[in-house]
Amino acid sequence: MRGLFKALGIAAALALAACSPKKTETAAAPAAAPKAGGELHIYNWSDYIDPALLTQFTKETGIKVTYDTFDSNEVLETKVLQGNTGYDLVVPSNHNVPRYIAAGAIQPLDKSQLPGLDKLAPDVMAHMAPFDPGAKYAVPYMQGTIGIGYNIDAVAKRLPGVKIDSWAVVFDPKTLAKLKDCGVYFLDASEDMYAVALNDLGKDPNSHVAADYDAATALLMKARPYVRKFHSSEYIDALANGDICVAIGYSGDVLQAKARAVEAKNKVRIAYSIPKEGSQVWFDLFTIPKDAPNPVAAHRFIAFMLRPEIIAKASNFTQYANANSAATALVDPAIRDDPNAYPTPELNKRLFVTTTKDQALLREVNRQWTKVLTGH
Ligand code: N2P
């Protein structure tokens, strides 16, 4: 089993050394910090911040925030590796970060500007160590999983008595055919989708064998006729409104869909399932592009998000777990006690971390993904 907490010895020690406090920092006293002014350009995932936090940041610092969003690592990586994005802060996932570092596309962080690093959970930092050795370039924001979001009643009607606990629900064409009429969405995210498709096939989700990707492509091609859309963010509203009944999606996004349906009182009941065969856990990280116009403001924002009460509010909005040990007690109990948001140790055993592909394998995976998207 590719357990999440496997083989962490040296990595954990390195990460702990990297984030252990040299001096004792109390919570960064924001009121006392001088107002910096200027502008901060952030490029982050959609549905991934409480807008009230941006307002609070501007109020405290005088820094005006321009906040743009994306919904795919592939889009972000293409932009950041090209350079000249105009952004001060971007938020890639763990497996993307080594390519950013290798390309010189992001800059080392100035840890003296980041009080609060010592609050980061040692186990999460241990997971980051292979991606960002010495924690030089990246600070964790949120983590989550990939799973199945579904409309409880619509699916029960079409698959009576079937437990939605297996990737077969979304990858077995016979099952999927029964769900076609109520609407199925898949993520448009090549690396994420291949990781779970390989896992469904019982293959290494981090395989470097081309034939494994061919097999995953064959699986996806057979599922494709029953997929209404490949999209990485529209499924939140589509699930919440009852427009679709199943989505392969990111955990917190599905939990947000569930909350939106409850809020709308539309009787749509949404659930999230991490398949029994296992799934990917990912970590999204704050990084600063090499040519960021205002790296000081970017550090200021990361420091703001390192404050336990702030990052707890962020988790309450996004329904994703954050990496701040001091924040867990401040997170809404409905979220921190939900294993879909904060996986239990038992669940963690089923999760795997996606490793980094080199450019050649990435090109091959993206070529095959285009085939899945276009159907030929
Ligand atoms: C936020 C989704 C983040 C997911 N809406 C993938 N890293």
- Amino acid letter for position 194: Y
Q: If pLDDT is split at 50, 70 and 90, which confidence band does 20 have? A: very low
Check if 96 has its Cβ closer than 6 Å to any atom of ligand 1.
no
The minimum-distance atom of ligand 1 relative to the CA of 189 is: 6
Distance of CA 90 from the midpoint of ligand 1 (Å) = 13
User: Which of 91, 141, 142 has most ligand 1 atoms within 8 Å of its beta carbon, as the pocket-test mutant?
Assistant: 142
The answer, yes or no, to whether residue 346 has pLDDT greater than 50, is yes
Q: What pTM was estimated for this model as a whole?
A: 0.91
pLDDT tens per residue, range 144-186 = 999 999 999 999 999 999 999 999 999 999 999 999 999 999 9
Give the span between the Cα atoms of 91 and 69, in whole angstroms.
10
Q: What is the DSSP letter of 34?
A: P
CATH superfamily of 8-144+283-343: Periplasmic binding protein-like II (3.40.190.10)
Distance of CA 323 from the midpoint of ligand 1 (Å) = 15
Q: What is the DSSP letter of 178?
A: T
Check if 241 has its Cβ closer than 6 Å to any atom of ligand 1.
no
C-alpha pair distances (Å), 349 with each of 10, 284, 302 = 20, 20, 30
pLDDT tens per residue, range 84-97 = 999 999 999 999 99
Check if 69 has its Cβ closer than 6 Å to any atom of ligand 1.
no
The residue among 295, 255, 198, 304 whose CA lies nearest residue 48 is: 255
Residues of the chain with CATH 3.40.190.10: 8-144+283-343, 145-281+349-374
The answer, yes or no, to whether residue 3 has pLDDT greater than 90, is no
Check if 88 has its Cβ closer than 6 Å to any atom of ligand 1.
no
Check if 286 has its Cβ closer than 6 Å to any atom of ligand 1.
no
Distance of CA 22 from the midpoint of ligand 1 (Å) = 33
Check if 191 has its Cβ closer than 6 Å to any atom of ligand 1.
no
Bridge partners of 283, per DSSP, are 143
The alpha carbon of residue 292 and the mean position of all alpha carbons in its chain are separated, in whole angstroms, by: 23
Check if 48 has its Cβ closer than 6 Å to any atom of ligand 1.
yes
Distance of CA 32 from the midpoint of ligand 1 (Å) = 33
**Contacts for 224 with CB less than 8 Å, ≥ 6 apart:** 372, 375
Q: If pLDDT is split at 50, 70 and 90, which confidence band does 23 have? A: very low
User: Which of 48, 68, 97 has most ligand 1 atoms within 8 Å of its beta carbon, as the pocket-test mutant?
Assistant: 48
Check if 250 has its Cβ closer than 6 Å to any atom of ligand 1.
yes
Q: If pLDDT is split at 50, 70 and 90, which confidence band does 9 have? A: very low
Alpha helix (H) ranges present in the chain?
A: 9-19, 51-61, 73-82, 97-102, 122-128, 152-158, 168-171, 173-177, 190-200, 210-223, 235-240, 251-264, 295-305, 308-318, 333-336, 345-348, 359-374
Give the span between the Cα atoms of 213 and 219, in whole angstroms.
10
The residue among 159, 218, 212, 216 whose CA lies nearest residue 193 is: 216
Give the span between the Cα atoms of 215 and 271, in whole angstroms.
29
The residue among 147, 127, 97 whose CA lies nearest residue 273 is: 147
Q: If pLDDT is split at 50, 70 and 90, which confidence band does 34 have? A: low
Q: If pLDDT is split at 50, 70 and 90, which confidence band does 331 have? A: very high
CATH of domain 145-281+349-374: 3.40.190.10
Check if 192 has its Cβ closer than 6 Å to any atom of ligand 1.
no
Give the span between the Cα atoms of 275 and 187, in whole angstroms.
16
CB contact at 8 A, 175 and 169: yes
Distance of CA 341 from the midpoint of ligand 1 (Å) = 13
pLDDT tens per residue, range 206-246 = 999 999 999 999 999 999 999 999 999 999 999 999 999 99
User: Which of 187, 260, 284 has most ligand 1 atoms within 8 Å of its beta carbon, as the pocket-test mutant?
Assistant: 284
Distance of CA 71 from the midpoint of ligand 1 (Å) = 7
Check if 141 has its Cβ closer than 6 Å to any atom of ligand 1.
no
Specify the pLDDT at position 5.
37
User: What are the phi and psi torsion angles at 146 (to 5°)?
Assistant: -110, 135
Q: Average per-residue pLDDT in the chain?
A: 92
Q: If pLDDT is split at 50, 70 and 90, which confidence band does 33 have? A: low
The string of DSSP codes covering 281-346 is: EEEEEEB-BTT-S-HHHHHHHHHHHTSHHHHHHHHHHH--EESBGGGGGGS-HHHHT-TTTS--HH
Name the residue with the closest Cα to ligand 1, atom 3: 45
Distance of CA 236 from the midpoint of ligand 1 (Å) = 11
Distance of CA 25 from the midpoint of ligand 1 (Å) = 30
What integer is the mean pLDDT of 34-63?
94
**Contacts for 332 with CB less than 8 Å, ≥ 6 apart:** 315, 316
User: Which of 71, 76, 272, 354 has most ligand 1 atoms within 8 Å of its beta carbon, as the pocket-test mutant?
Assistant: 71
Give the span between the Cα atoms of 95 and 115, in whole angstroms.
26
